Structure 1
Amino acid sequence: MAALDSKASGKMGMRALIYYMTTTFIAVFTGIIVVLIIHPGKGSKAEFGKQQKIEQVSPADAFLDLIRNMFPPNLVQACTQQFKTKYGKRVVTVTMTVNETLFNSTNATQEVMEISREEAIPVPGQVNGVNALGLVVFSVCFGLIIGNMKEQGQILRDFFDALNEAIMRLVAIIMWYAPIGILFLIAGKIVEMDDLTQMGGQLGMYTITVIIGLLIHGVLILPTLYFVITRQNPFTFIAGILQALVTALGTSSR
C-alpha cells in the first residue's frame, strides 16, 4: 500500500473489497450446497451433538464486535486476542401489589408479591485468536500514510520490503519441514482414536467434501468470474501466479 498512489490504492481497495465479499458469499453458498448433498457427518454418534452447548448470540452484538475488532486498542493484544461480547446473568426482582376484595364488601386486603427473573446482559470480553481484521485495517491505514510521506517514508518502505523478504524465506523453510511435524501430529491423533474405522470413514467423507468444494470454487467459479470480468483466458493468469497459490495452499492462507 505504501508503494501505491492514494487514488490508485483507493480504487484498488474498493474493487478488492467487492471481489472479496462476492467470492466469500459464493464460497459459503457452495459449501452449504456440497454439505447438504454429501452429508459428511452422517453416521456419527447421536449423543455427540447433544453434548455441545450452543451459545445464543445477538446479531447486533455480533455486528458491533466486528466494528470493534476493526479498531483494536492494542496491536500486541490484537496478535493473540480479539474482542467478543459475552453474556452474563442478572437477577431482576419486580415488586407487585395485589388488591383483593371479599364478597363485594368495602374491606380489602393488599398483598405484596416479589417476582424474580434472570436476564442476560452483554459484557465486554476477549477470546483467544488473532484479530486479523484489526491488523489488516491498521496495516492498510499505516501503508497509506507512509505512501503519502513520499521521500520521508522511503526508509520505512525499504524496511518493510526487507521484512517481507525475510518472512517469505522463513515461510519457505517452514514449508519444507512442515510435513514431518504434520506426520507426527496425525500419528498421535490416530493412536488416541477408539474406533479407527468409524473415525476414518468420517474423516474420509469430510476430506472428500472439502476437496470437492475447493475444486468447484477454484476450478469453476473463480476462473468463470475472471473470464466474465476481463474477457481473458483465466488459466494463463493462474499459471503466472502458480507459485503464490502453492505457498497459500501450504500455509493455509487465503
Structure 2
Amino acid sequence: MMNVTGTNFTTQSPNDDMVKMVNYTTTRIVDKPVVKKVEGMNILGIVVFSIFFGCTLSRMGPAGKPLSAFFECMHIATMKIVTLIIWYSPVGIVFLIAVKLIEMEDMGKVFTQLGYYMLTVLLGLGLHGFIVLPLVYFVGTRKNPFIFCYNMLRALLTAWGTASSSSTLPVTMECLEEKNKIDIRVAKFVTPIGATINMDGTALYEAVASIFIAQYLGISLNFGEVIIISLTSTAAAIGAAGIPSAGLVTMAIVLTAVGLPVDEVTLIIPIDWFLDRFRTAINVLGDAYGAGLVAHLSQEDLAELDRQAVKGIDINDVEINVNGGKFQEKNGGLDNPSFTKM
C-alpha cells in the first residue's frame, strides 16, 4: 500500500540513454534502464484494490452492510455534486476552451485532428455496436440480431436524445418485453445492472480519447501503456454514473494511470456532448443484447420456475377478478361459490 498515495509511486522503464562500456579489447553498447518517479497517485493500484475490497464486502454478508451503505451514500452524494457541477460547467468550459484556442499555433491542424478523432470514435462505436455485439448475440442464441436491434430502436433514440442510460431504463425494459418478448423477470434483473456497470461504449470512448490526447501532445505510448489504458478504461467505465458526460469525470483516472496531464481533457470537451449521445446508445444496445442472451440461456430455468409456481397453487383457494368484482372459490367447491363486488 506504500505506492498508493503521494510520490511513492515509481515506475521503471528503459529510455534511449546508452552506456558505452569500454575495455582494452571490446566495446559494447547496452541499454541503461532508468528509474523515474511519477508524481501523483497509483490510480491503477487503487482501482484494483477497490475491486477486491468491494468483492470482499459483498461476501461478508450482514457484517459488511454498514460499510457498503456508507460507500453507497458517498457515491450518491458525489454524483449529486458532479451533476450540479455539470449544470454550471458551461461557464467554466468557455474560458478553458478560450485558453486552449489562444495557445494553439495552427488552429486548422487541431480542428483536423479533432475531426479524425471524432471519426475514429464513431467508427469504433459502430464496429462494436453493429458487428461485435450482434455477432456475440447470434453465436449465443442463433437468432437474427438485427431484428432484435430494430425492435430496440425507440430505446436507442431515447438514449441518443437524453445521453443517459439510467433515464432510458424504463423504455429499454418496455422494448425488451413488448417488442423482443424477453421475460420481464430477466429484463428487470439484467437492465438495471447493465445501466450501472455495462458501459462498453464509454470504455471504448475513454481509451480512444486517452490515446488521442497522448498523440496530440507528442507522447509515444508503448504496448504496456496501451494495455494499462484499456484495463483502466474498462474499470473506470464500470464506475461511471448513467448521467450525461459522466465519462469525462472518470477519464481523469485513465489519464493519470499513464501519466498524461488531466487538464488536456479540455481539448475534447467541446465535442463530448455530441459523442456522448452515441456512446450512450451503444451502452443501451449492449444492455439489451445482454438481456436477450441471458433470457435465451435461462429458458429452461424460467420454465421450471413457472411449473413449480403452477404446482404450488391450491385448487381450493382461487381468486379471479371479474368485471371489477372478486370471484372466490371456497372450500365448498364450485357448487357454493361467492361473488363480492369490489
TM-score relative to the length of structure 1:
0.49
TM-score relative to the length of structure 2:
0.38
Relative contact order (alpha carbons < 8 A, sep ≥ 6): 1 or 2 greater? 1
> Which has more strand, going by share of residues?
1
